[in-house]
Amino acid sequence: MAGVSVTFTVNGREVTATVDPRTLLVHFLREHLKLTGTHIGCDTSQCGACTVHLDGRPAKSCALLAVQLEGAEVTTIEGVAGPDGMHPMQAAFKEHHGLQCGFCTPGMVMMGIDIANRHEAPDEATIRRELEGNLCRCTGYHNIVASIAAGASSMRG
Amino acid sequence: MKPPPFDYCCPDTLDEVLTLLAEHGEAAKVIAGGQSLVPMLNLRALHPGVLIDINRLPGLDHISLEDGQLRVGALARHKAVLESAAVSEASPLMALAYPYVSHGPIRNRGTLCGNLCHNDPASEMPAVALASGAEMVLQSAGGTRTVAAEDFFTGMLSTAAEANEILVEVRVPRAPAGQGAGFHEVSPRKGDFAYVAVGATLQVADGACTGARIVCAGVGDGPHRAYAAEDALTGAAPGDDAFRQAAAAAADSIDPSEDFHADADYRRDLVRSLTRRALADAASRCN
């Protein structure tokens, strides 16, 4: 099938590529840009491991075609740290050990940042409800919820 | 590559979309949010020759309440619909059902009209559309027609939309004053496909039920309206006796599909329980 040229921004950097229309965003990120922090779990938008931010809001990159993103801004887990090191949400996951195997963690952090952006001081019930679309098979979520609460608190300063 | 190969077009105008649909017919598939379509492509359950992306079309993301109708355009995202004042005012049933529609990140991208066109049998919104007497506005190069929800949902993942048509808008009549609504669902995980969902609306006058709508999802090829259960309520005093009878009639009216999650008996039990709960909620919200 004919390749299609697409230009969009990934972690603040403009990217132009000619892609096969069937290329999923998650494959584009991992295989073309070598940004392998975004993980592939289910390929059917259920698990949330591939969560990125699309124009500032969380989206599942396995359910997006790269070709659809002309002009869009995408942020991946590689793009959240600042010049001084980890993003406060990443630091909170480290501090509160919000992971075991780590596979779901990039998606959890991206979702956690969005939860903190939309809720001033998210309580446990809010965080658990907002995490409906992110599955973790290790932790039982306890430390993930604690990490997001702490990360949200640090993000407010 | 997960999805099968296809060509891709991203037109700037509706006229171009209609021309492409006329040209490609069954080989074409329209993509808006793509939140059901892309997973189906990933599973290779679909093999479209050409994908027609409508995301650049102007003026199709409207959510408005005019002339007693809620009107939602083809590019209105679930999140915008869910949060709109027009929806809570015009369709309390839709507002109650919306939190069950998938997850936040999916709702950011997916559209109501796309959801209706997908017509997954476990999906909430086709059932809401059926209960609400919604109309689908279908456009093709040949013109525009309106199809009632009861004629639109024709079976498993299929609708009355022809291959050359696109659903440009769904119109939902404003719920009558005093109508109460209830919606309940059981699914393996929140936001996952429903084993069973039941929506109910109820009107009460002079101590008797004057109008009821009961719809189920997850029980067959598409949204199911339990006419016998509605009839059982007409004229009855709203209360647990009447709701139990209606719930039994609803459970009798289905011939549920079975899978390894839920067999037919379990789905009938769920219809019975959820109908009773949805009616009790609806009655408590009548005024």
Last residue of a domain, one of B173, B202, B224: B173
pLDDT at B191: 80
Q: How many domains does chain A have?
A: 2
Q: Are residues A13 and A71 in the same domain?
A: yes
Contact by Cβ (8 Å): B157, B119: yes
Strand pairing class (A73-75; A4-10): parallel
Q: Are residues B185 and B229 in the same domain?
A: yes
Residue B94 within a domain: yes
Q: Are residues A102 and A39 in the same domain?
A: no
Residues from chain A that touch B2, judged by Cβ atoms under 8 A, are 22, 24, 27, 43, 62
Which amino acid, A71? Answer: G
Please give the Cα distance from B157 to B223 (Å, whole number). Answer: 11
Q: Are residues B158 and B198 in the same domain?
A: no
What is the pLDDT averaged over residues B43-53?
97
- CA R_g for chain B: 19
Q: How many domains does chain B have?
A: 3
Give the residue among B181, B187, B166, B205 at the shortest CA–CA distance from B259. B187
Residue contact B53–A68, C-beta within 8 A: yes
What is the pLDDT averaged over residues A36-43?
95
**Residue whose pair of structure tokens reads 């070598």 in the numeric block:** A34
Give the residue among A156, A59, A66 at the shortest CA–CA distance from A107. A59
Residues from chain B that touch A3, judged by Cβ atoms under 8 A, are none
Residue contact A133–B104, C-beta within 8 A: yes
Residues from chain B that touch A1, judged by Cβ atoms under 8 A, are 5-8
Helix (H) or strand (E) holding B232: helix B227-233
CATH number, position B114: 3.30.465.10
Q: Following CA atoms B19, B149, B170, B275 in sequence, which dihedral angle do they give, to the nearest 10 degrees?
A: -140
Average pLDDT value for chain B: 96
Q: Are residues A60 and A110 in the same domain?
A: no
Q: Are residues A58 and A92 in the same domain?
A: no
- What's the half-sphere exposure (Cβ side, CA atoms, 13 Å) at B221? 7
Q: Are residues B40 and B112 in the same domain?
A: no
**Residue whose pair of structure tokens reads 């000619």 in the numeric block:** A18
Q: Which residues pair with B64 in a beta bridge?
A: B71
DSSP string across A58-91: EEEGGGSBGGGGTT-EEE-GGGS-BTTBS-HHHH
Note the pLDDT tens digit of each residue in A95-154: 999 999 999 999 999 999 999 999 999 999 999 999 999 999 998 899 999 999 999 999
Please name the member of A27, A70, A130 whose beta carbon is closest to the beta carbon of B104.
Answer: A130
Contact by Cβ (8 Å): B130, B150: yes
Domain that holds residue B206: 180-285
What is the pLDDT averaged over residues B127-133?
98
Please give the Cα distance from A1 to A153 (Å, whole number). Answer: 48
Note the pLDDT tens digit of each residue in B183-213: 999 998 888 889 999 999 999 999 999 999 9
Strand pairing class (B7-9; B50-53): parallel
CATH number, position B45: 3.30.43.10
What is the pLDDT averaged over residues B28-44?
97
Q: Are residues A73 and A10 in the same domain?
A: yes
Which amino acid, B1? Answer: M
**A52 interface with B at CB cutoff 8 Å:** no
Confidence of residue A1 (pLDDT cuts 50, 70, 90): low
Which residues 15-44 on chain A approach chain B with CB closer than 8 angstroms?
20-24, 27, 43-44
What 3-state DSSP class applies to A144? helix
Helix (H) or strand (E) holding B69: strand B69-73
With 0-12 CB in 10 A as exposed, 13-18 as middle and 19+ as buried, what is B176? Answer: exposed
**Which pair of tokens denotes residue B185?**
């669902």
pLDDT at A99: 96
Domain that holds residue A116: 88-156
Residues from chain B that touch A45, judged by Cβ atoms under 8 A, are 35, 38-39, 106
Contact by Cβ (8 Å): A15, A33: yes
Q: Are residues B239 and B195 in the same domain?
A: yes
CATH number, position A8: 3.10.20.30
Please give the Cα distance from B265 to B246 (Å, whole number). Answer: 18
DSSP annotation of A136 reads -
Q: Are residues B67 and B144 in the same domain?
A: yes
